[in-house]
Every structure is written in structure tokens, then in C-alpha cells.
């Protein structure tokens, strides 16, 4: 791939520098790529209605081109142009959760190129709440296709330095800013009967049920053995993976702690460099080459926000084996556990 000079700029979400936004918007309009912060993770943006831009996104990420992109919009009017129909459920969810960390799948209209949707007749759409993202969408002409701004397979970046690590030389610009949640948006499919969660996130099953009544959950979300293919093509690939070999230990807290410490010693004796991902409460009892707290067990927001950063830090530290505590799978815990299971290639040990 031809090396591009990547410009790094910073934009404060609370004092938008409109000259910088316009400069970034112009790059997108001309078919270039700009990484930008959202309230979930950094996105790697290109003009969603320009097939060449989508092609460049796949190349920059090293992503299989059958894995569709999410189209980011800034207002409801923009939605009408890219879908054939907005089902009642879509209007209700937009009212309740847009702008915000929710992606909905609709039947696409002809203006959306197949390059953007990985060949599908459906399109994933999200209206983010991050002010920099919203301003950039407007400056770019209204439609930004943006997957997470990582090389395919790596954890999604939550800090600009990790975007730069993956994307320097591959894209025209990186906008530094704060991301909030730390895990990607919830994805809900509205094209096939009962609304179905394809990827769990900050907007939980319980929150969606409150608005819609019945909501299904794709079976492949937490089950690594499911024979079914996930409906979100991206969910079938190995993902969020650190370089180290990650295993999750789940079960009774004291037993988990003891087993993590035992396995750590065993691996260290074999010459491995071991990292532990644990909750704040358990920090004093761990010993390893690198021990990191994801936050308090009850505080799912902090766990979500910290998880990907820790996985990246272990890469920086050349950790070769990683053990992580497991987390409950209700509420946001379902999203946390889903990402952790994927990062671990579904390697989980139950202890009691
Ligand atoms: O929070 C997010 O959603 C971030 C930020 C940047 O907005 N974006 C993001 O995009 O996570 P990406 O490309 O990393 O993940 C998109 C997921 C993939 O698993 C993809 O297969 C699925 O959405 N997807 C996209 N379009 C789809 C469609 N038409 N039908 C089913 N799944 C779709
Ligand atoms: Mg991604």
C-alpha cells in the first residue's frame, strides 16, 4: 500500500474548532480517510456514498470486504435517503436512543453502494452523540462510513495513540479527542421480524425491551460453539485480540483468584510473561509480570471503558499469556463478556 502522510490534530468536543472540522470534512469529501472520536470507540471514516472511499477503508484496516460498514448520520432526514423504509420500531428506537450508541439495520436504498455494505441489501446506520463526530458528518456531506479505527482483528482504539499505532501512513488524518463508553455500539437488526440484537453494547436488552416489548438476541453472541453463523458478518471473525494468549477464568471469586495465581506461576516457570486482568477488589492478591485493574466489579461503565486499553497495553509490554476474571452477563456485562470471549477466542475455564 502507498504510504500517506497522516496529519494528527486535536479537537475539543466542547469548543469545536470549525476550521479544523471543515479541513477534515474536505478530506472526506475528496475521498480521503479521517479517524475521529465517537462516544463508543474511534471510527475510521470515509464518505459512505463513495464506493472508492469504502474500498480504501477495507484496505487501511486489512478487513475482509464481506464485512459491512456502519453509516453514520447526524439527523433523521438523512436516514430517509439511505433506507427504503423506516419501520415503526426504528422510529421508536431513534426517539429513545439517537443520537447515541445504537446501530440499526435497515433495508438499503440505491444511493448506498454495495462496497459500503459488503454486498448486502441492508445497511447499518448510527447517529452518534459525540459533538466532534456530528459536526464532522455535516462537514463531510452527511454520510460517514466508519468501522472501528483498528487494524482488523485488534482491539478497537479508545485512545488516539492506538489509532496512530495502527493507521499512521495509511490515512490522511487522525482527530484526537475523548471517547466515552469504550465498547462499540449495540447493533439491532430491524429487517427480519422481531428486532434482534446482533452485537450487545451500552444500550442493553433491558433498555430495548422497555421501548419495543419483545426483542431477540442473536444466539452466537455468547456461545462460541454455536453452529449458526452470526448475522453481523463481523462477529464471525477473531476480534479484539491481544498478542498474548488470553484465557478467562469464571466462577466463585476466591477460587478464580487462586486459580489465576496458580496458572500464572505455572506459566512463568515455563518462561512466559504473564498479565492479569482483574477487578479492583482482587488487586492485592495477584502477582504476575503485569497486573491491571479494569475497575470495581460493580462498576460496569469503568470496566467497559478500560478493557480495550488494557489489552493494548499488554501488547506494548510484550505479555505472552493473559488471564482475566469473567464478568456477569446481565446489562452491560453482556457486552463486556461478549468482547472478552472474542478476544479470548472463547477460551474460558469455570472454577468453583
Ligand atoms: O460503536 C461503533 O459501532 C463503532 C463506531 C466507530 O461507530 N463502529 C464499529 O464498526 O464498531 P465496526 O465496523 O467495527 O463494526 C460493525 C459491525 C460489524 O460486526 C459488521 O459486520 C456489522 O456491524 N454490520 C454492519 N453492517 C451490517 C449489516 N448490514 N447487517 C449486519 N451486520 C452489519
Ligand atoms: Mg470493529
DSSP states along 295-332: --TT-HHHHHHHHHHHHHHHHHTT--EEEEE----STT
Q: What is the pLDDT of residue 237?
A: 64
Q: Are 351 and 255 in contact (CB under 8 A)?
A: yes
Using a 6 Å cutoff on CB, does residue 188 contact ligand 1?
no
Assess whether the C-beta atom of 146 lies below 6 angstroms from ligand 1: yes
Atom of ligand 1 nearest to the CA of 184: 1
- Numbered ranges of CATH 3.90.870.10 in the chain: 7-217
On the 0-12 / 13-18 / 19+ scale of CB atoms within 10 A, 236 is middle
Rounded-to-integer distance, Cα 250 and Cα 352, Å: 9
Pocket test for ligand 1, best of 74, 184, 197, 236 (most atoms within 8 A of CB): 184
Q: Which residues contact 342 (CB under 8 A, 6 or more apart)?
A: 235, 238, 239, 240, 241
Q: Please list the residue range(s) of the chain that carry CATH number 3.40.50.11030.
A: 245-351
Domain spanning 7-217, CATH class: alpha beta
| Residue to substitute in 46, 232, 236 for testing ligand 1 pocket (most ligand atoms within 8 angstroms of CB) | 232
Give the number of whichever ligand sits closest to the CA of residue 185.
1
Q: What is the pTM of this model?
A: 0.96
Please check whether residue 186 is in contact with residue 20, taking contact to mean a CB–CB distance below 8 angstroms: no
Mean pLDDT of all residues belonging to the chain: 95
Residue with CA at minimum distance from ligand 1 atom 22: 232
Question: For residue 310, what pLDDT band results from cuts at 50, 70 and 90?
Answer: very high
* Protein residue closest via CA to atom 3 of ligand 1: 185
Decide whether any atom of ligand 1 lies within 6 Å of the 233 Cβ: yes
Task: For residue 156, report the distance from its CA to the centre of ligand 2, in Å.
Answer: 6
Mean pLDDT across 164-179:
98
Tens digit of pLDDT for each residue in 35-50? 999 999 999 999 999 9
Residue 235, pLDDT score: 67
The answer to whether the CB of 24 is under 6 A from ligand 1 is no
Q: Which CATH class is domain 245-351?
A: alpha beta
- Is the beta carbon of 105 within 6 A of some atom in ligand 1? yes
pLDDT tens-digit map of 255-266: 999 999 999 999
Amino acid at each position: 500500500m502507498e504510504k500517506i502522510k497522516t496529519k494528527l490534530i486535536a479537537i475539543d468536543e466542547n469548543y469545536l474548532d470549525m476550521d479544523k472540522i471543515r479541513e477534515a470534512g474536505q478530506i472526506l469529501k475528496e475521498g480521503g480517510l479521517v479517524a475521529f472520536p465517537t462516544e463508543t470507540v474511534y471510527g475510521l471514516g470515509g464518505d459512505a456514498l463513495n464506493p472508492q472511499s469504502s474500498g480504501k477503508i477495507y484496505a487501511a484496516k486489512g478487513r475482509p470486504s464481506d464485512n459491512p460498514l456502519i453509516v453514520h448520520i447526524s439527523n433523521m432526514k438523512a436516514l430517509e435517503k439511505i433506507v427504503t423504509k423506516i419501520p415503526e420500531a426504528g422510529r421508536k428506537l431513534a426517539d429513545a436512543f439517537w443520537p447515541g450508541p445504537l446501530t440499526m439495520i435497515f433495508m438499503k436504498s440505491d444511493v448506498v453502494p454495495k462496497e459500503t455494505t459488503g454486498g448486502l441489501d441492508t445497511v447499518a446506520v448510527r447517529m452518534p452523540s459525540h459533538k466532534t463526530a456530528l459536526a464532522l458528518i455535516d462537514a463531510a456531506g452527511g454520510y460517514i462510513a466508519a468501522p472501528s479505527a483498528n487494524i482488523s482483528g485488534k482491539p478497537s482504539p479508545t485512545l488516539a495513540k492506538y489509532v496512530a499505532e495502527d493507521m499512521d501512513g495509511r490515512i490522511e488524518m487522525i482527530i484526537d479527542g475523548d471517547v466515552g463508553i469504550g465498547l462499540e455500539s449495540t447493533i439491532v437488526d430491524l429487517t427480519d421480524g422481531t428486532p434482534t440484537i446482533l452485537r450487545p453494547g451500552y444500550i442493553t436488552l433491558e433498555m430495548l425491551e422497555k421501548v419495543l416489548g419483545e426483542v431477540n438476541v442473536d444466539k452466537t453472541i455468547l456461545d462460541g460453539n454455536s453452529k449458526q453463523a452470526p448475522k453481523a458478518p463481523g462477529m464471525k471473525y477473531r476480534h479484539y485480540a491481544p498478542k498474548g494468549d488470553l484465557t478467562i477464568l469464571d466462577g466463585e471469586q476466591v477460587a478464580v483468584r487462586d486459580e489465576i495465581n496458580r496458572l500464572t506461576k505455572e506459566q512463568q516457570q515455563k518462561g512466559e510473561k504473564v498479565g492479569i486482568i482483574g477487578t479492583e477488589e482482587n488487586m492485592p492478591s495477584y502477582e504476575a509480570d503485569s497486573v491491571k485493574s479494569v475497575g470495581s466489579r460493580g462498576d460496569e461503565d469503568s470496566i467497559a471503558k478500560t478493557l480495550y486499553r488494557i489489552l493494548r497495553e499488554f501488547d506494548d509490554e510484550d505479555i505472552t499469556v493473559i488471564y482475566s476474571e469473567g464478568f456477569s452477563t446481565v446489562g452491560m456485562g453482556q457486552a463486556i463478556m461478549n468482547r472478552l470471549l472474542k478476544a479470548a477466542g472463547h477460551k474460558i475455564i469455570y472454577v468453583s
